């Protein structure tokens, strides 16, 4: 057992428990900087970490009736084929230095986008309500599929996007949907998407299985403790710290 990996999993789990986001956003940079994995292996390992850790959350939201399965299905209609196509392209072209650069750049951009979505989370509903006047109800299913397609590519290239960015896209398309259903639907979509993308990366040899096991061992108690700490820590403080971490990691990865 790698004690540092268990401790890292615990820390990431605590952040996920406190904020609901940040697992994939912080795990991949951590795997690259601390564990010295190349970007492709870090992304593949993180996809499995995200898929497994979010499964429990998806089940809990399902039990509470917080999942809109029609919207989840529309998202998957776009995201799963997009993820499969992205992985197939990586298979066909080989994991060259060019792909490594693309993966690293995508990771950096995804981190910065996530920071923006977290920082201005309260404003996205207002933007969505304004867009609602311009978007007929009949076009929302197609926009949802398009959102899924974007997420499928982004998640496959960077392992990031299925959480905060996915929830933001849902807020823009469905601004009147209750927050708990946005979160539940987003997590329900994230699980199959990350696992499909994770399977694709596994076929490319991009998963460090032993390290993944140690990270998961640490994350389980971390999520539980983080969820309990949420009641005691001001949300603005937690969000600010998360945004600083995301921007720092994003800029470091890009440079």
Cβ pair 144, 8 in contact under 8 A: no
Q: What is the pLDDT of residue 93?
A: 84
Predicted local distance difference test score (pLDDT) of residue 1 = 54
Instruction: Supply 78's token pair.
Output: 């776009």
pLDDT at residue 196 is higher than 90 = yes
**Residues 107 and 160: beta-carbon distance below 8 Å:** yes
CA distance 43 to 50: 10
Return phi, psi of residue 94, to 5°: 85, 155
Q: Pseudo-torsion of CA 105, 108, 114, 116, nearest 10°?
A: -100
Could you report the per-residue pLDDT of 77-128, keeping only the tens digit for each?
A: 999 999 999 999 988 887 656 666 777 787 788 778 877 877 777 788 788 8
Residue 145 has pLDDT above 60, yes or no: yes
State residue 230 phi and psi, 5-degree precision: -55, -35
- Look at residue 66 in the predicted model and tell me its pLDDT: 87
Q: Give the pLDDT mean for 147-165.
A: 88
**Within the chain, what is the greatest distance between any pair of CA atoms?**
55
pLDDT of 137 strictly over 80: yes
Give mean pLDDT, residues 161-168: 81
Distance, in Å, from the CA atom of 134 to the CA atom of 175, rounded to the nearest integer, reads 13
Cα gap 47→51, rounded to integer Å: 6
pLDDT above 70 (res 58): yes
Give the DSSP letter of residue 95: S
- CB-count burial class (<10 Å; 0-12, 13-18, 19+) for 53: buried
Q: Torsion-angle region of residue 109: left (phi > 0), alpha (psi -120 to 50) or beta?
A: alpha
Predicted confidence (pLDDT) per residue in 211-243, tens digit: 999 999 998 888 778 767 766 666 667 667 667
Angle at 200 between CA 196 and CA 203, to 5 degrees: 140
Residue 178 pLDDT exceeds 70: yes
- Range with the poorest average pLDDT among 29-38, 40-49, 122-131, 190-199: 122-131
- How high is the pLDDT of residue 24? 66
Predicted local distance difference test score (pLDDT) of residue 95: 62
Q: What integer best gives the mean pLDDT of the chain?
A: 84
Residue 50, pLDDT > 60, answer yes
What pLDDT sits at residue 91? 87
**What pLDDT shows up at residue 23?**
64
Residue 141, pLDDT score: 96
Helix (H, G, I), strand (E, B) or coil at 27: helix
Residue 18 has pLDDT above 70, yes or no: no
114 vs 155 pLDDT, higher one: 155
pLDDT score of 22 more than 60: no
Q: Count CB-CB contacts under 10 A for residue 247.
A: 16
What pLDDT shows up at residue 201?
Answer: 94
Over residues 26-30, mean pLDDT = 83
């Amino acid at each position: 057992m790698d004690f540092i990996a268990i401790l890292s999993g615990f820390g990431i789990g605590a952040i996920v428990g406190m904020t609901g986001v940040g697992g994939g956003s912080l795990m991949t940079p951590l795997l690259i900087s601390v564990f010295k994995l190349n970007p492709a292996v870090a992304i593949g390992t993180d996809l499995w970490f995200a898929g497994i850790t979010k499964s429990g959350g998806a089940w809990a939201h399902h039990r509470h009736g917080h999942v809109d399965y029609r919207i989840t299905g529309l998202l998957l209609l776009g995201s799963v084929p997009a993820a499969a196509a992205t992985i197939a392209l990586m298979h066909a072209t080989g994991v060259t230095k060019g792909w490594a650069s693309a993966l690293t750049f995508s990771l950096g951009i995804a981190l910065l986008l996530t920071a923006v979505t977290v920082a201005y989370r309260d404003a996205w509903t207002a933007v969505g309500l304004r867009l609602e006047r311009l978007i007929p109800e009949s076009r929302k299913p197609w926009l949802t599929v398009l959102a899924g397609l974007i997420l499928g590519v982004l998640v496959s290239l960077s392992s990031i996007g299925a959480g905060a960015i996915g929830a933001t896209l849902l807020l823009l398309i469905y601004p009147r949907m209750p927050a708990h259903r946005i979160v539940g639907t987003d997590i329900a979509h994230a699980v199959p998407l990350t696992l499909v993308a994770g399977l694709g990366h596994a076929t490319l040899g991009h998963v460090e299985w032993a390290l993944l096991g140690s990270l998961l061992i640490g994350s389980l108690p971390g999520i539980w403790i983080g969820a309990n700490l949420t009641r005691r820590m001001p949300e603005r403080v937690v969000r600010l710290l998360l945004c600083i971490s995301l921007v720092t990691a994003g800029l470091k990865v890009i440079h």
